[in-house]
Amino acid sequence: MSCVLKSGETPHETMGRLFCVLGKSGSGKDTVFRALVQERALGLRPVVGYTTRPHREFETEGVEYHFRSEAEFAALREAGKIIEERSYRTMHGVWRYATVDDGSIDFSAGSYLTIATPEALGGLRARFGPAAVVPLYLEVEDGLRLRRMIRRESRREAPDYPEVCRRFLADEQDFAREVLRQQGVTASISNRRLRDCLAQIAGIIRQAGFAEIPRG
């Protein structure tokens, strides 16, 4: 991973950003992530996370995630390649997720987009500096979000409703107001309507991101 700074320049003036989509399960992180990456004008490069979770139908290695075994995760850890890691006791055992130093981030080249959690923000800031990490916290009213989660699950080959319930309940603690405050997440973006949500995020990105930084 390289962060190229010329003498006298601060990260704020010269570098791209790491925009982090976060939100409770079903808040639309994957949907928003895909739409933002496809929006070429924003110039965002995707940072693909690593996970030990088994891959779901329609997921492709290297697109949604890099799918790795426990042993491969341990090897990455051992090699000091893991920037931040979270693990969850799911209905199917422990699943791990991580951002890995695999050489894919170069802030001198532009801005990046990833999916994160409140706890992940700390590790990302420690690695890239607080100014580089911009949280985009999605919010959807609980009832609507749960309906979206259940509808999405019902379309899967083997719906896993217990895991849906676990995530819904776990998120209450993981995204508690105090946790968000500690991680400096003070603003939220409504994803009731996707179009409005994307427009608001595009505004934030244009204001904070690499594309808007005056040159010369």
Ligand X SMILES: Nc1nc2c(ncn2[C@@H]2O[C@H](COP(=O)(O)O)[C@@H](O)[C@H]2O)c(=O)[nH]1
Ligand Y SMILES: Nc1ncnc2c1ncn2[C@@H]1O[C@H](COP(=O)(O)OP(=O)(O)OP(=O)(O)O)[C@@H](O)[C@H]1O
- The amino acid occupying position 118 is P
49 makes contact with ligand Y (CB under 6 A): no
25 makes contact with ligand Y (CB under 6 A): yes
Q: How far is CA 149 from the centre of its chain?
A: 18
- Tokens in use for 93? 């055992």
Q: How many CB atoms lie within 10 A of CB 36?
A: 19
Q: How far is CA 169 from the centre of its chain?
A: 20
Dist. CA 16–CA 115, nearest whole Å: 17
Name the segment binding ligand Y (CB under 6 A); options: 50-58, 102-110, 123-131, 186-194: 186-194
Residue closer to ligand Y by CB (options 30, 72) is 30
- C-beta contacts of 180-183 below 8 A and 24+ residues apart: 180/118, 180/137, 182/118, 183/118, 183/119, 183/121, 183/122, 183/135
88 makes contact with ligand X (CB under 6 A): yes
Name the segment binding ligand Y (CB under 6 A); options: 19-27, 60-68, 80-88, 103-111: 19-27
97 makes contact with ligand X (CB under 6 A): yes
Residues numbered 144-173 forming contacts with ligand Y, rule: CB under 6 A: 148, 152, 167
- What is the nearest approach in angstroms of ligand X to the Cβ of residue 208? 22
Residues numbered 157-176 forming contacts with ligand X, rule: CB under 6 A: 167, 170-171, 174
26 makes contact with ligand Y (CB under 6 A): yes
State which of residues 17, 86, 125, 145 lies at the interface with ligand X (CB under 6 A). 86
